[in-house]
Structure 1
Amino acid sequence: MKFRLTPLLGLLLSVLLVSSACAERPNAARIISDQTFAFLRVANTPDFIAKMEQTAIGKAANDPQMQPFVSGIWQTLKQSAANAEERSGITLEELLSIPQGELAAGVVAMQEGQPGVVIFCDLGEDTRVIERVVSLLETVAGNDGALIERSEFKGAEITLIRGNNGPLAISIHENVLLLSNRIEVLEDTLEHWSGDREDSLASDDRFSTIVSSSRGTKDEPAQLIWYVNPIDGLRAITKNQPGGSYVMGFLPVLGLDGVKAIGGSYIAATEDFDTIGHLHVMLERPRTGVIEMIALKNASTEPEGWVPEDVTNYMTSNWDVEKSYGALENLYDSIFGDGKLAEDIDRRINQRTGIDFKTEIIDNLEGKFTLVQWYEPPARINSQATFVAAKIKDRAMMQKTLDRIVESLPRLNDVVEKRNFGDATFYQANVADAPIPEDVPEDRRRRMETRRALRPEPCFGLIGDYLFFADRPGIVEHVTMTFGGDSPRLAEDLSFKLVLNKLQEHAGERKVAMVSFARPEESLRMVYELVQAESTKDFIGQRAEQNDFFKNLQGNLDANPLPDFNVISQYLAPSGAIMVDDETGLHWIGFSLKRDTE
């Protein structure tokens, strides 16, 4: 069987066959109530699949040299589903072919009882597969003792299955499958099927703000959107629950009631970009409590001199440390009493370590924070190493502070070793391992060795004018060699400069709170090498003896090995993201570049 990413890709022609009734129906956001506190919508499933095929991942999966491997994975899934297909008479391909237009789901707050979930799925002109699925569901539920009731509402037939796991209302109306755990929600959906309701989700200012700010760079509509109203959702979930009123009453104290809505979108295969993603956090003004602690400043777009060129992920942001700490102090003191934060820090930190936490650490932070991730060879499950750094004002002061902390805490002092490597001075955790007894069974020995190999080796210290924490010494050494000029730097990389220019175009005059950069090909390289590693083959082989899925996977991978890495990597291009702080809240936009493979 020729496989192109998913079986739905072979059914793209059905987009042209969707009935006019489906095409003219208002989208789900105009039908459901503004009491919906969670919502997800794919505008047109076949179109979305087609767009995904045009992305780098889609092109890589459809590459002739990748087809045997992808087909092998698909065959593994088919073999795993074979028993279910035989019992039901419905194939996996048929199930995946069901969505033929809009696919949406919403969670609605109710006056009484649990929230209602409603699912919309456009079926196109052919509803035979879903009718077989519904018939099978009724049969299985009936055999399990469920009550099945039928009714009619607004010209639509509704089947209500009252089973052990709660009710399920089903209706196929105008070639659209509707599912809900509350028949009231399904009837409300049918009541407003024309989309002319004044209290629809689409008319909600919070929802419309997120949708309008989550379009493509050339105003391309999003193929996928999502939306959450966290406060209304929490209120609906905790209603009539023990302690629910206490939880809701405590939110204003923390300032979390200022989170009005969260949402975003995904846009694939635009004119200029491979993919674009949006995330918008809508906030009340003025910000209070926890939200006030998010005191972001303009972020420098220039990578530090110690950031290696071959990083997989890089992210930096600038904070007003004094303002953030002040907001934390105000919040803490408002809950526990005036001056309580300073008192607790003095008792729990200062007196135990002999330092002045506020003066020596907080006041010594300049406000720039950076995260770097890098894959340390050889490939293994825990190859990804992380390095987090904060820029400081006075390195000598910070070094004295770290030394005093280590010396004053015997337990810490016993397990760390002070090291110097180039410009870096740091403490590395060393946990001694007891010898593995010789009479331990071989399979247990391997498990013990694997657990020890996966265990992190935390490090903390200073490099240049940065205080850092890392999860292993390898990345510290790599960063230090870069800082010393022995390895290429990210700041000199042409792909980073290209992404940075695109980011600056997106930002315009807005305040940039965060900048990030990623190399998906480096992340994929680790996965690629891991799949081919002997340790992975041993892992699959051990489980294949007792598990049919792994047995099938092993056979298909042996018969259809991965091609050379450059077959995949040629399609992948760097990506970047920014976060801006504006009058409505925080807005994140990320994109991946297009790579010309023609």
Structure 2
Amino acid sequence: MRFRPTLFSLLLVALLAIPGLAKDPNSAQIMSDQTVAFIRVADTQEYVKKIDETAIGRAANDPQMKPFVNGIWMTLKQSFTQVERQIGISLEELLGIPQGELALSLVAMQEGQPAGVLFCELGDDTRVADNVIEVLEVIGESNGAEITKSKVNDTDLVFISGPNGKVAVCIHDNTLLASNRIEAIEDMIDHWDGTREDSLAADDRFRTIVSSSRGTRDEPAQVVWYVNPIEGIRMATRGQSGGAYVMAFLPVLGLDGVKAIGGSQILATEDFDTISHFHVMLQRPRDGVIEIIAMKNASTDPEGFVPDDVTNYMTMNWDVEKSYNALEKLYDSIVGEGKLAEDIDRRINQRVGIDFKQEVIENLEGRFTLVQWYERPARINSQATFIAAKVKDRTGMQRTLDAIMESLPRLSELVEPRTIGDARFFQLRQQDIEIPEDASEDRRRRLETRRALRPQPCFGMIGDYVFFADRPGIVKQIALTHGGNLPRLADDLSFKLMINRLLEQAGERKVAMVSFSRPEEGLRLMYDLVQADSTRDFISRGAEDNPFFQNLETNLNDNPLPDFQVISQYLAPQGSIMLDDETGFHMIQFSLKRNSN
């Protein structure tokens, strides 16, 4: 079947190639403050250089890793060959189009659909971008589109309207502009000097996001993104039945208090490999759903049951009583006075014979913890998850769990009690999938894979924590650590170093959440999966009738992965903290720098 590119297919490839934004002119100063979503890379060429300086970039450029990376690149190039023949532009040429600032935005218009806008600085050589516009015209004509040409401030603008959509495109001041709304491009060109008073850059919400998302030494961000969620909802519901009701209901829930969401990415700084910011700007005082998020100062010391070989660890402290009261106030304001207590009594207390508020809510101390760990052997669902909440009275919580089991006989039939060390829990019984004796080898493999992929949930108590886990393997690992038989994260030097660096950034601000992760463990799983026989079998089966898998299989065979240590030597632990300040919630994530030999 002959490839027939749609009107947007070529632009889509260019958009996905590299994210970004530039210096002169600054797109945030040109775009309207009606911008609902925005992502920017200040300089795409600098961004690529910074990526090469990060751990991932240095690993990819390692001489022992190069053959494998080149093999993957060849697979992509070979898969793009058919498109290249159709459009006459190579993949390298497309990826080389952004030379400075590159921005993508979604802008709310006074009438009609919103405008998606591409802003891409081209540098001195605009020939490839000129070819892109010519190809778009050819594609439009072949699809029966109407093509209109006009001028905006001496800039030639092409507007293509056809069955596959609309696109207006031009090159203004060595910058490629494209949008589905011609008015959006005209507006940008009219304000090209960057002095407009109603610009995105002048918006207080955007400025708060940007000012909160700089490096530890005030380094500017390579990537900045921004979303105005309320305006986005208003835009999405405009003209829709029930749209006015949705907008009127947001204040009831307190969601109108979410003023903006955004963040940044900063690469290869003096102190860190990467820094990422995530900021939720909130109105004060907080109300409704936002008031329910009542975090308080979190302990930075890991629990004694957390093993040191975790892939991800997170802990946060929550003001449970304040959150519950806020939930009750919100629920009752919508459903009716006293309705939450009434519904909990009818749906929980009377059914399982407990007092939910007294025995569960009031027994929670407020500390909640997430532990993730990879269970060997490697498979798609090797990552096991353990979620725990600290209680004030362990004996009381154990009585509550036992009462629930006694009052729900059907649940008792589905689970079995187990004890591992100090962990006392209930585990879901699992019936093995029967494999017929006459099953083909292919079907047997599929059934065995299905059997291995099924979770086996567990819930119970360990120490002063009530927990839920998706499989018993992680419960065993945690129980052994709790008993002192395995090393603990609390004694890990890399964890201590990361926490100290994070707390330096927090200063006097309230730390509501702390997390820690080991990217090399996630990479180890992916590494094992790529090397696994089951993965190679899957690729081989796909290669029978799919050119992409044929190319992938050939290149993987010709360019195998080097030893795991070649890659892992570049990777360092990551950590993050969440702060609760006067502007809202702010998360900072760091990846430490590791000097490889």
TM bucket, shorter chain: over 0.9
Match of 1:367 in 2: 366
Aligned to 1:119: 118
How far residue 407 of structure 1 moved from its aligned partner, in angstroms, is: 2.1
Determine whether 1:206 maps to 2:205. Answer: yes
Q: Which amino acid aligns with 1:295?
A: A
2:72 match: 73
Q: Which residue of 1 aligns with 2:398?
A: 399
What residue in structure 1 maps to residue 548 of structure 2?
Answer: 549
Does structure 1 residue 512 correspond to structure 2 residue 531? no
Instruction: Please name the residue that 1:379 is paired with.
Output: 378
Please say if residues 298 and 511 of structure 1, whose CA atoms lie closer than 8 Å, have aligned partners that are also in contact: yes
The reply on whether 1:336 has 2:335 as its aligned counterpart is yes
When normalised by structure 2's length, the TM-score is 0.96
Distance apart, 1:24 and its partner CA: 6.5
Mean Cα deviation higher: 303-312 or 165-174: 165-174
Q: Distance in 1 between matches of 2:343 and 2:435?
A: 44
Amino acid aligned to 2:49: A
Does the residue aligned with 1:309 lie in a helix, a strand or coil?
Answer: coil
One-letter amino acid matched to 1:241: Q
2:363 and 2:316 mapped to 1: Cα distance? 17
Which residue of structure 1 aligns with residue 59 of structure 2? 60
SS at match of 1:72: helix
Q: 1:131-150: per-residue Cα shift (whole Å, max 9, x none)?
A: 11211111111111100000
Counterpart in the other structure of 1:90: 89
1:286 aligned to 2:278?
no
1:486 counterpart residue number: 485
Contact 1:25 1:194 in 2 (8 A): no
Distance 1:539 1:39 in 2: 39
Q: Residue 419 in 1 paired to residue 418 in 2? A: yes
- The one-character-per-residue Cα deviations of 1:530-573 (angstroms, maximum 9, x if unpaired) are 11111111111111112111111111111111101110011011
Using the TM superposition, give the Cα deviation of residue 26 of structure 1 relative to its aligned residue in structure 2, in angstroms. Answer: 2.5
How far apart in 1 are the matches of 2:410 and 2:120? Answer: 59
Cα-to-partner distance string for 1:94-129 (whole Å, 9 max, x where unaligned):
110000000001111111111111110001111111
Contact 1:114–1:237 (8 Å) recurs in 2: no
Offset of residue 315 of structure 1: 0.4
Contact 2:481/2:488 (8 A) holds in 1 = yes
Unaligned runs of 5+ in 2: 1-13, 15-19
Do the aligned partners of residues 369 and 307 (structure 1) sit closer, same or farther apart at CA in structure 2, a change above 3 Å counting? same
Distance 2:126 2:164 in 1: 26
Whether the aligned pair in 1 keeps the contact of 2:22 and 2:41 (CA below 8 Å) is no
> Aligned partners of 1:223 and 1:145: how far apart in 2?
41
Counterpart secondary structure, 1:34? coil
- Whether the 8 Å CA contact 1:201–1:207 is kept in 2: the answer is yes
Whole-angstrom distance in 2 between the partners of 1:521 and 1:249: 47
Q: Which moved more, 1:172-181 or 1:126-135?
A: 126-135
- The aligned counterpart of 2:103 is 104
**Partner AA of 2:230 in structure 1:** I
Distance 2:387 2:177 in 1: 47
Q: Partners in 2 of 1:242 and 1:78 — Cα distance?
A: 46
Q: Give matches, 1:227-246, under 5 Å.
A: 227-246=226-245
Give 1:438 deviation, angstroms.
2.2
Whether the aligned pair in 1 keeps the contact of 2:456 and 2:472 (CA below 8 Å) is yes
Give 1:434 deviation, angstroms: 4.6
For residues 360 and 98 of structure 1, the distance between their equivalents in structure 2, rounded to whole angstroms, comes to: 62
- Equivalent residues of 1:43, 1:223 under 8 A apart: yes
Q: For residue 166 of structure 1, report the CA deviation from its aligned partner.
A: 2.4
Q: Which amino acid aligns with 1:338?
A: E
Does the CA contact (< 8 Å) of 1:418 and 1:427 recur in 2?
yes
Q: Is the 8 A contact 2:118 2:177 kept in 1?
A: yes
Note if 1:561 corresponds to 2:560.
yes
TM-fit CA distance, 1:269: 0.3
Q: 2:545, 2:488 → 1: CA distance?
A: 48
The AA in structure 2 aligned to 1:314 is: Y
Listed one character per residue, the Cα deviations across residues 426-472 of structure 1 (whole Å, up to 9, x for unaligned) are: 00001213522223333223222211211100000000000000000
Comparing 306-315 with 127-136, which one deviates more in the overlay?
A: 127-136
Letter in 2 for 1:292: E
For the Cα contact (< 8 Å) 1:518–1:575, is it kept in 2?
yes
Runs of 4+ deviating beyond 6 Å: none
Query: What is the rounded CA distance, in whole Å, between the counterparts of 2:22 and 2:458 in structure 1?
Result: 58
- Kept in 2, the 8 Å contact 1:390–1:466? The answer is yes
Structure 2 SS opposite 1:487: coil
Change (3 A) 1:23 1:92: closer
Code of the residue aligned with 1:386 in structure 2: it is: T
Residue correspondence of structure 1 range 217-232 to structure 2 within 5 A:
217-232=216-231
DSSP 3-state at the match of 2:201: helix
Q: Which amino acid aligns with 2:434?
A: P
Answer whether contact 1:333 1:341 (CA < 8 A) is retained.
yes
Bigger shift: residues 221-230 or 124-133: 124-133
Query: Is the Cα–Cα contact under 8 Å of residues 23 and 101 in structure 2 kept in the other structure?
Result: no
Residue 460 of structure 1 corresponds to: 459
Q: Does structure 1 retain, via aligned residues, the 8 Å contact 2:23–2:43?
A: no
Tell me how far apart the structure 1 counterparts of residues 499 and 572 of structure 2 sit (CA, whole Å): 14
| Equivalent-residue separation in structure 1 for 2:489 and 2:433 (angstroms) | 41
Separation of aligned partners in 2, 1:452 and 1:346: 39
Q: 3-state DSSP class of the match of 1:591?
A: strand
- The change in CA–CA distance for 1:24 and 1:341 in structure 2 (over 3 A counts) is closer
Corresponding residue for residue 531 of structure 1: 530
Offset, 1:23: 7.6
Contact 2:513 2:577 in 1 (8 A): yes
Matches within 5 A, 1:243-254: 243-254=242-253
CA distance in 2, matches of 1:529, 1:303: 29
1:266 aligns with 2:270: no
Correspondence for 2:316: 317
Paired AA for residue 506 in structure 1: Q
- The TM-score, its normalising length taken from structure 1, stands at 0.95
What is the distance in 2 between the residues matched to 1:28 and 1:337? 49
Deviations 1:476-506, CA, capped at 9 Å, x for gaps: 0000000000000000000001001101101
Question: In the alignment, what sits opposite 1:346?
Answer: 345
Q: Which residue of 2 aligns with 1:49?
A: 48
Moved more, 431-440 or 544-553: 431-440
- Structure-2 residue corresponding to 1:499: 498
Change (3 A) 1:97 1:236: same
Q: Equivalent residue of 1:159, what SS?
A: strand
Counterpart AA for 1:547: N
Q: Identity percentage over the alignment?
A: 68
8 Å contact kept, 2:229–2:259? yes
2:295 corresponding residue in structure 1: 296
Aligned match of 1:581 = 580
Partner of 1:12: none
Q: Structure 1: any 5+ residue segments left out of the alignment?
A: 1-7, 9-14, 16-21
Q: After the TM superposition, which residues 123-134 of structure 1 pair with which residues of structure 2 at under 5 Å, given as runs?
A: 123-134=122-133
